[in-house]
Amino acid sequence: MVTPSQTTTYTLTLNGSVSKQVTVTVVSLPSITSFSASPAAVNPGGSATLTAVFSGSTGTVDHNIGTVTSGGSGKSTGALTADTTFTLTVTNLAGDSTTAQVTVLQRGFTSAGNMTTSRAYHPAVLLQSGKVLLAGGSGGAPNTADLYDPATGKFTATGNMTTQRWGHTATVLLDGSVLVAGGNNSVYLASAELYNPVVGTFTATGSMSATRTWLAAALLSSGKVLVTGGYDASVTYASAEIFDPGTGKFTATTGGMTAKRNGHTATALSNGKVLITGGNDGNLYLASAELYDPVTAKFTAINNMAATRSEHTAVVLSSGKVLIAGGFTQDDASGVIASAEIYDPGTGTFTPAGNMTSKRGGHIAALLPSGEVLIAGGRGSTYSASAEIYDPLTGTFTATGSMATARYHSTATLVANDKVLVAGGDDGGSLVQSAELFK
C-alpha cells in the first residue's frame, strides 16, 4: 500500500505497454478559521448575519441557512425568537468534515431571584471581586446590604450599614472599598461610611459639611471622590466637597457649582474632568451643565443641554462621548421627556440624539459590551417595565423585551457573562424585592 503526499498518477504496465492509468488527488483536511454572528444578540424577532472563513469544498449551516461561501458577505439567520445555536459543517472532496458553532442570543430579561429585602432609591456598585453591592434604600430594612454573586446567581446579606439611608451615593475607591455618603432616613444626612469587601463590614468615616440627599458623586483619577449638590429639608445646594481616602475626610471645594442642583448627574470623563448635567434647583428643572476640573479645582459652565431634565441618565459611550437620556422636565406638558442628546468632550457641545421609544425619568441605563446602551424602567405616564437599546452606530433607539416588573429608581450593573443585573425599584404600588438579568 502506498500513501501519496501529493496528487499522483499511477500507471499499470503489462507486457511493455500501458494498459491503465489512475490519478489519486490528495486534498487537505477541512478547517474552519472563523464562524461568527453579527450582532451576537438580537431583539425579539431580529436577525443576525452569519459569516465564515474556512478551507474545504463546501460549507453548510443548519436551520435552513444552507450553503455559505468562505469570506463571503454572509447569510441572514432570518427572524429569531429564542437563543439559537448554528452549526457550520465544512467538507472536503474526500468526504472529511469538521464543524464549528455560534450562538445568537435572544435579548431580554430573565429572573435573577430576590434580594434579601425589597429596596428602591438605593445604589449598586460592582466590586473588584465581580460581586455587586446593593446598600440601603427605602423598603423593609434600609440599613441592610446585599451581595449578588454572578457565579452562583444568588443574593446574600452582608454587614449592615452604620446608618439607615436612601437617596445616597456609593462609589468604589481604588483600593476596592466603597464610600457611601449622604441620603435620608426621615432626617437628612451628612454622614458617610466605608464598606470593606474583604471582611464585609461598614465603618463610619468623616462626615460631609452639609446634609445631602439626591446628591451625585464621581471618582476622580487621583482616587479622591467629588460629591456635588443635593438637598435637605430647606435648601438645594450648589456646594461640593472632595473625599480623600487617605485622610478619611471631606473638604469643601474652593468654589461651588455654577447652579444649585439635586437629581443631577456627575460623570467622570476620560480627560479627568467631571461632567455635571441638569437636575432641579429647588424650583425648576435645569438645562444647564458644567465641568469640574480637578487640576484647577474649579467648576466652569458650558453650553446648555437642549432640554431641561432631572432624574435622567448619563452614560459614557465607547467613543468617550456621553449619552444623556430622558428625565423629568417642564419642557413637556406631561412633565417627562423621551429626548436624548450626546455630549462631546472634544467640542464641549451637546447635539440631539433622537428620542427614546418611551418618555421616562428615574430609569436605568447601562453600557453593554457591544457599545450599545440598555435603557429600562422609570416612570412616564405610568411606572414602566419597558426597555430599549440605543445603538451609537445608527444613532437610534429600538424597543427590546420588557422586564417582568415595572421599576422606578432601580439599579443596573454590568456583571460577568456580559449580563446586566437590574434590581429593586418602585413598581408604583410597592417596593420591589426581585431582580432580573438582561442578556
Does the pLDDT value for residue 69 go beyond 60? yes
Q: Which amino acid is at 289?
A: A
Which region among 69-78, 134-143, 428-437 has the lowest average model confidence (pLDDT)? 134-143
Phi then psi dihedrals of residue 32, to 5 deg? -120, 120
- Cβ proximity of 267 and 279 under 8 Å: no
pLDDT at 7: 67
- Is residue 411 helix, strand or coil? strand
CA distances from 327 to 236, 277, 439 (A): 18, 11, 25
Does the pLDDT value for residue 6 go beyond 80? no
Over residues 338-347, the mean pLDDT reads 98
Reported confidence tier of residue 41, pLDDT bands at 50, 70, 90: confident
**Average predicted confidence (pLDDT) for the chain:** 95
Over residues 130-156, the mean pLDDT reads 93
Does the pLDDT value for residue 250 go beyond 90? yes
Does the pLDDT value for residue 2 go beyond 70? no
Give residue-wise pLDDT tens across range 168-205. 999 999 999 999 999 999 899 999 999 999 999 999 99
How far is it, in rounded angstroms, from Cα 204 to Cα 277? 30
The percent of the chain in helix, strand and coil, each rounded to the nearest 5, is 0, 50, 50
Phi then psi dihedrals of residue 417, to 5 deg? 65, 20
Sign of the alpha-carbon torsion through 364, 369, 373, 374 = negative
Q: What is the pTM of this model?
A: 0.87
How far is it, in rounded angstroms, from Cα 237 to Cα 242? 15
- Cβ proximity of 240 and 252 under 8 Å: yes
Give residue-wise pLDDT tens across range 368-391. 999 999 999 999 999 999 999 999
- Assign domain 109-438 to its CATH architecture: 6 Propeller (2.120)
Over residues 236-265, the mean pLDDT reads 97
pLDDT at 141: 60
Does the pLDDT value for residue 144 go beyond 70? yes
pLDDT at 214: 97
pLDDT at 139: 74
Domain assignments of the chain as residue spans, ordered by start? 31-106, 109-438
Reported confidence tier of residue 438, pLDDT bands at 50, 70, 90: very high
Does the pLDDT value for residue 245 go beyond 60? yes
How far is it, in rounded angstroms, from Cα 6 to Cα 383? 71
Over residues 28-39, the mean pLDDT reads 95
Does the pLDDT value for residue 25 go beyond 80? no
Over residues 325-351, the mean pLDDT reads 97
Does the pLDDT value for residue 1 go beyond 80? no
DSSP string of 114-125, one letter each residue = E-SS-EES--EE
pLDDT at 185: 92
Does the pLDDT value for residue 407 go beyond 70? yes
Share of the chain above pLDDT 90, in %: 87
Reported confidence tier of residue 26, pLDDT bands at 50, 70, 90: confident
Share of the chain above pLDDT 70, in %: 96
Give residue-wise pLDDT tens across range 86-113. 999 999 998 999 999 999 988 999 999 9
Task: Identify the CATH assignment for 31-106 out of 2.40.128, 3.40.50, 2.60.120, 2.60.40.
Answer: 2.60.40
Chain centroid offset of residue 278 CA: 21
Which region among 1-10, 315-324, 425-434 has the lowest average model confidence (pLDDT)? 1-10
